[in-house]
Structure 1
Amino acid sequence: MKLTPTQFGGAAAVDGYGPGFFRISGRVVHGAVLVTAQGGAAWAGLDDRAPLLALAGQVDVLFIGMGADVAHAPADLVAALRDAGVAVESMASPTAARTYNVTISEGRRVACALLPL
């Protein structure tokens, strides 16, 4: 699916997704992806916590896309991120991508970690 373009003030945006991939600012990333204002990078998934915890002090909220369906992120991951000062919102990956785009366009300090559909 292609998302509607908007103004992102130079921040990376999720501009499309489909089965097994995401398009971040025109670049296709296969599999799970971590997206910040600086760009998108492959991410190894929920067990790959180091890059998520490294967001502490850089973002206020992390949207975690759990794939095609709504699901909760693992409670211990959420607790670790909250202890590091990062609020977590879990939702389906398409919703997380759209929510990230809206909030980054507002200039907010957010990131999203998306599991593929």
Structure 2
Amino acid sequence: MRMTEITLSEATPVDGYGPGFFRVAGEVFDGPILVTATSARGWGGYDDPAPLLALVGEVDVLFIGTGAETAHMPAALRDRLHEAGLGVEAMNSPAACRTYNVLLSEGRRVALAALPV
């Protein structure tokens, strides 16, 4: 596997989250989010796979935050992302945010797609 480092000054960390929202790099987002090292935006949830598929080749791992509880993501979405070559790890959103931030701080090519708690 080829690893590509990012410059930490470009990084977009998750600063916090609460009922129905996330705070990313100081900006508040209501509802589901998609965060990469360089940007954050709203995401349409499991029914919106296109922005996730657009990450193929840009990130090594996509963390899926499943909300307050750990849950399985829809099998069709998981299979589609795996077939496209995107590494996917699903966990509850708080754990996904923490894991994303840690790997981002290490310069890893990661992204986060998360449902609010």
| Common fold: TM-score over 0.5 | yes
Higher helix share: 2
**Counterpart in 2 of 1:48?**
48
Instruction: Return the offset for 1:112.
Output: 0.5
Flag the structure with more relative contact order, 1 or 2, with Cα contacts below 8 A and sequence separation at least 6. Answer: 2
1:9 and 1:105 in contact (8 A); partners too:
no
TM-align CA RMSD: 1.2
Moved over 3 A (4+): none
1:24 and 1:39 in contact (8 A); partners too:
no
CA offset digits 1:60-85 (Å, max 9, x no partner):
11000000000011111111111111
Q: Name the aligned partner's letter for residue 64 of structure 2.
A: I
Q: What secondary structure, in the 3-state scheme, does the structure 1 residue paired with 2:40 have? A: strand
State percent identity of aligned pairs: 61
Identify unmatched segments of 5+ residues in structure 1: 1-7
CA offset digits 1:12-44 (Å, max 9, x no partner):
000100000000000000000000011210001
Instruction: Return the offset for 1:9.
Output: 3.5
Q: Name the aligned partner's letter for residue 98 of structure 2.
A: R
